[in-house]
Chain A
Amino acid sequence: AQSVAQPEDQVNVAEGNPLTVKCTYSVSGNPYLFWYVQYPNRGLQFLLKYITGDNLVKGSYGFEAEFNKSQTSFHLKKPSALVSDSALYFCAVRDPAGASKIIFGSGTRLSIRP
């Protein structure tokens, strides 16, 4: 069964510093991996995805994520945090075999202090 874990409920970073939001996954075969962001009272917005190819994927708003197959991780990163990056971030995994479900992690609240 596929699963995804976000070990940190909250990450606090000073504006201008680099940020990392952690995600690990479990799925049979090669996964589809996603990051989404949720602002208050809004739906989830897509940030980036890994399907195949380069392990470093770039997405919206300057975010990037690195797929590490040996560590089954897909951590979200940004070189320089902005206060406006403060939001709830979700990692998600999909088994590409067949008509599969998309499972989300528990979410990590990112707080960027000025």
Chain B
Amino acid sequence: DAGVIQSPRHEVTEMGQEVTLRCKPISGHNSLFWYRQTMMRGLELLIYFNNNVPIDDSGMPEDRFSAKMPNASFSTLKIQPSEPRDSAVYFCASSLTKAFFGQGTRLTVV
């Protein structure tokens, strides 16, 4: 298995633009997590899904953030409109018991 695949690896966008981050989880895993990592806040859980259903989105910082999981093999995290303070590394992870992480998307909003 190729592991958790995230795209793009790097994204630079202008403030106000829409950003979509993508994740392909490991086949057979039933949970999917989106995390954000910054120096100031560490590793924050934004949202997680179980069997494609959003269970807890209390970590999503604002209504500008939304996440979907239309099927077991794909999830997106969208920021619209983006702001400079959204700059961070965004990780997707999938799990049965332990979490397997993707390589992350480094987002820079200028």
Report the separation of the CA atoms of residues A99 and B49 in the bound assembly, to the nearest whole angstrom.
9
CB distance B45 to A102 under 8 Å?
yes
Q: Does B97 contact A (CB under 8 A)?
A: yes
Between-chain CB contacts (< 8 Å), 22 pairs: A36-B99, A42-B103, A42-B104, A43-B4, A43-B104, A45-B101, A46-B98, A46-B100, A51-B97, A94-B97, A99-B31, A99-B50, A99-B51, A101-B55, A101-B56, A102-B33, A102-B93, A102-B95, A102-B99, A104-B45, A106-B42, A107-B43
Closest residue of A by beta carbon distance from B3: A43
How many residues of chain A have a CB within 8 Å of chain B? 21
> Chain B residues near A49 (CB, 8 Å)?
97-98
- Tell me the interface secondary structure of chain A in the complex: strand
Q: Which of A34, A42, A90 contacts B98 (CB 8 A)?
A: A34
CB distance B102 to A43 under 8 Å?
yes
Q: Does A82 contact B (CB under 8 A)?
A: no
CB distance A44 to B98 under 8 Å?
no
Report the separation of the CA atoms of residues A36 and B98 in the bound assembly, to the nearest whole angstrom.
10
Taking A99-B31, A102-B33 as contacts, is the C-beta distance between A44 and B101 under 8 angstroms? Answer: yes
Task: Fill in one digit per residue for B32-73: 1 if any A CB lies within 8 Å of its CB, else 0.
Answer: 010100000011010010110001100000000000000000
Task: Fill in one digit per residue for A88-114: 1 if any B CB lies within 8 Å of its CB, else 0.
Answer: 001010100001011111110000000
CB distance B91 to A34 under 8 Å?
no
Taking A42-B103, A43-B101 as contacts, is the C-beta distance between A90 and B56 under 8 angstroms? Answer: no
Central interface residue in B4, B30, B93, B97, by most chain A CB within 10 Å: B97
Report the separation of the CA atoms of residues A43 and B43 in the bound assembly, to the nearest whole angstrom.
11
CB distance B42 to A107 under 8 Å?
yes
Report the separation of the CA atoms of residues A46 and B26 in the bound assembly, to the nearest whole angstrom.
15
Report the separation of the CA atoms of residues A104 and B95 in the bound assembly, to the nearest whole angstrom.
14
